[in-house]
Structure 1
Amino acid sequence: MKLLIPLLLLSFHLSAADTTFFKADHPYIQYTGRIDFTDPATPRFWQPGVYIKLKFKGSHCTILMDDDTHNYLAVQVDNLPAKRFQTTGKHNMINITDHLDNGDHVLTICKNTEAGIGYLQFIGVKCQALLPLPAKPVRKIEFIGNSVTCGSGADQSLFPCGQGQWFDQHNAWMSYGPLTARALKAQWQLASVSGIGLIHSCCGMPFPMTQVYDKINMRTDSIKWDFSKYQPDVVAVCLGENDGIQDSVIFCNAYKQFINTIKQHYPKVTIICLSSPMADQQFKPVLERYITAIIKNNKNVYHYFFTKQYGLGCGGHPDLQEHKQIATDLTNYIKKIKKWG
């Protein structure tokens, strides 16, 4: 994940007979995340961490992706380290070769940037053949949170902090949520927005999490998400950093109501309320006190408190190595409470 692979137009010379175009609505393509399938042939998605998976035959594959802005993607072939791509225009073709043999390969495409950067629209792939994938993992996790959950400020491999655009250090693929899910052999979904709070968001954002949690685009879009499409076993909530110190009664009551909302959507879910990995020594005990009161006598609701502050990334966010540590610790905690081997 250390190198940006330049976005390439079709530069290798293949005859038309070598590849076939497979549209985005092909039944062999798997989707996970909040996606707008109004047009199944051109699905759109805004949220970080949305991912697409397919299996192709051959030594090369070309991804066709339309873009609203200049989003970053993580692209993984088989179990090789994922590579970062950035789109360069409205219509993009991304060549995947990686010196692959002419066998069968699994391709995973993940949106690395968040809704504030705009949508991606998947058009399809060009390859020799598409093959069926195994069924998705049975386990499912949802991660609700702010910029940390988005992977904001984590990846300084291309631009050091303070340089480039605000989203150039985004890396949702390597953020703690997807890392935890992959370690647990689970699907993941990120319901996260930079700057968002439970009742008070920062940076001029006019809405809190409670107003956008049911949306496909959690920034501006009005299309509602159908919660029946993804019923997680575990929901990890990491909110409070952008709220700061609030009236304890108002904050705790709002948090309890939000937990009730989650339970209404997911009746069998286990909920874990996380403290903030960015919290300083003043705010850390306050948020822990809030969460302790919130989960008291609340069935299937647990707390997870970070033991240290993580802030080596940009703007005081965790960097990639810190996300790995957070994921390792959270993975062990989920294994314990869910008895997942």
Structure 2
Amino acid sequence: MIFRSLFIGVLTLSFCTAISQDKLPASALHPYGRYWRSGSQLELAGPAAHFGFRATGAECNLFAFTRNDHDYLQYEVDGRYKGKIVIKDSAHAPTLLKLGTPGPHTVWIYRTTESGAGALVIQKITGKGLQPLARPNAPGIEFIGNSITCGAAADTAEYPCTLGGYFDHSNSYDAYGPRVARALRANYVLSSVSGIGVYRNWNSNSPTMPEVYGNADLRDNSRRPWDFTAWQPSVVSIALGTNDLSHGDGHTPRQPFDSAAFVSAFTKFIQTVKSHYPAARIAILNSPTVGGKDGILLRNCIVAVKARVDALYPSDKPIALHFFGPMTVRGCGGHPSVEDHGLLADELVPFFRQLLQTAK
């Protein structure tokens, strides 16, 4: 943790603007992740969408609101995680961020929840000696996935599973993807949605990931296209299939899993990803929550997808695969907990380290 703090502090010093101020408008921020700008406001859409700034005071005020009843942000100061912040649906009351002793400090703010909760709107920051931080020059990983990749239903620190709503248990900061990226000093984007699949979802046939991937908010019928030219990841990780294999709620009519449809849709989706990121290494992960016969079926389907894509792109580097072993998850509703995500990340760090090295 001390090393990470030193690294972030040194790294961001060279990427902040030269002029400090006491009011930092959202239009001056350099966001990372799924987002869009609306006038002078910054709207964070995807889980773990984030931005950074420097401050010289012991505290500052964040002006943010949600169009939902409430939402959450997470933040770190000088590389040390400080916790969750609840954001209400008011656009007027600021949220106080305690930074510790008088600075200088580097602060990073992360959207906790996902696009299903609606966008979380950032208006401005007030304080002393504020400077926006740009993204560091580092390799990047895009993590495409479902609720597991979102870090959904993982956090019971404030609410046990029996209390609160679905998004009250979200923790994208501690999901496996951001943990891996921090360990490898990589930039990252989470393009993930709870319940989503490749050719069908947890309890519905659409909209699937291939249908919403081109939208900034990963939602159906969106009018906000995602600008794929804004960022080119070195590696794209795809972890889908959990919901395709799901039996749903047991009440909604659902056909048996169609492995041919899954493999076909997955292959076409990877072709779409490659069209946007032709130089990126592609990796496919299985699901740590799908075991037994379904786990074997998912593994066989993923192997088939790899074979098809590798045959379609013989001059590209082959699809990389990682298969998790069985995991008894401890989060809510059959999801990995924050602690489980730590185990997943530890397992994945060597895998992604090698991919980043070979992606160069």
TM-score of the pair, normalised by structure 2: 0.84
User: Contact (CA 8 Å) 2:151, 2:170: kept in 1 or not?
Assistant: yes
- Map of 1:170 onto structure 2: 170
1:47 lines up with 2:49 in the alignment: no
How well do the aligned residues superpose, as a CA RMSD in angstroms? Answer: 1.8
Name the aligned partner's letter for residue 62 of structure 2.
I
- Map of 2:17 onto structure 1: none
1:23 lines up with 2:25 in the alignment: yes
The structure 2 residue matched to 1:307, chosen from 325, 328, 334, is 325
- Distance in 1 between residues matched to 2:31 and 2:305, nearest whole Å: 34
Name the aligned partner's letter for residue 265 of structure 1.
H
Q: Secondary structure at the match of 2:167?
A: coil
- Distance in 2 between residues matched to 1:280 and 1:222, nearest whole Å: 38
- Map of 2:301 onto structure 1: 290
Name the aligned partner's letter for residue 275 of structure 2.
Q
Name the aligned partner's letter for residue 336 of structure 2.
P
Identical positions, percent:
31
- Map of 2:265 onto structure 1: 254
User: Contact (CA 8 Å) 2:139, 2:356: kept in 1 or not?
Assistant: no
Q: Secondary structure at the match of 1:37?
A: strand
Q: How does 1:147-162 map to 2 (within 5 A)?
A: 147-162=147-162
- Distance in 1 between residues matched to 2:158 and 2:345, nearest whole Å: 23
- Map of 2:81 onto structure 1: 81
Moved runs in structure 1, 4+ residues, more than 4 A? none
- Map of 1:67 onto structure 2: 66
- Map of 2:353 onto structure 1: 335
Q: Secondary structure at the match of 2:349?
A: helix
Instruction: For structure 1, list consecutive stretches of 5 or more residues without a partner in the other structure.
Output: 1-18
Q: Quick one: structure 1 residues 134 and 36, their matched pair in 2 at CA, closer, same or farther if it must change by over 3 Å?
A: closer
In the TM superposition, residue 46 of structure 1 has moved relative to its aligned partner by 1.6
Q: How does 1:123-272 map to 2 (within 5 A)?
A: 123-131=123-131, 133=133, 136-204=136-204, 206-220=206-220, 221-244=222-245, 246-272=257-283
User: Contact (CA 8 Å) 1:151, 1:175: kept in 2 or not?
Assistant: yes
Q: How does 1:84-123 map to 2 (within 5 A)?
A: 84-91=84-91, 92-98=93-99, 100-123=100-123
CA-to-aligned-CA distance 1:219-277 (integer Å, 9 cap, x gap): 24221101001110011100001001632222111111111100000010001100011
- Distance in 2 between residues matched to 1:72 and 1:282, nearest whole Å: 37
- Map of 2:11 onto structure 1: none
Name the aligned partner's letter for residue 55 of structure 2.
F
In the TM superposition, residue 338 of structure 1 has moved relative to its aligned partner by 3.0
In the TM superposition, residue 103 of structure 1 has moved relative to its aligned partner by 2.1
1:324 lines up with 2:324 in the alignment: no
TM-score of the pair, normalised by structure 1: 0.89
In the TM superposition, residue 161 of structure 1 has moved relative to its aligned partner by 1.1
Bigger fraction of residues in helix: 2
Name the aligned partner's letter for residue 164 of structure 2.
G
- Map of 2:8 onto structure 1: none
In the TM superposition, residue 33 of structure 1 has moved relative to its aligned partner by 1.1
- Distance in 1 between residues matched to 2:24 and 2:355, nearest whole Å: 42
Name the aligned partner's letter for residue 275 of structure 1.
N
Name the aligned partner's letter for residue 127 of structure 2.
C
Q: Quick one: structure 1 residues 76 and 206, their matched pair in 2 at CA, closer, same or farther if it must change by over 3 Å?
A: same
Q: Secondary structure at the match of 1:43?
A: strand
In the TM superposition, residue 82 of structure 1 has moved relative to its aligned partner by 2.9
User: Contact (CA 8 Å) 1:149, 1:190: kept in 2 or not?
Assistant: yes
CA-to-aligned-CA distance 1:66-99 (integer Å, 9 cap, x gap): 211111110111122231011123224111124x
Q: Secondary structure at the match of 1:273?
A: strand
- Distance in 1 between residues matched to 2:131 and 2:306, nearest whole Å: 46
Instruction: Give the total of aligned pairs.
Output: 319
Instruction: For structure 2, list consecutive stretches of 5 or more residues without a partner in the other structure.
Output: 1-20, 246-255, 311-315
Q: Quick one: structure 1 residues 123 and 236, their matched pair in 2 at CA, closer, same or farther if it must change by over 3 Å?
A: same
Name the aligned partner's letter for residue 27 of structure 2.
D
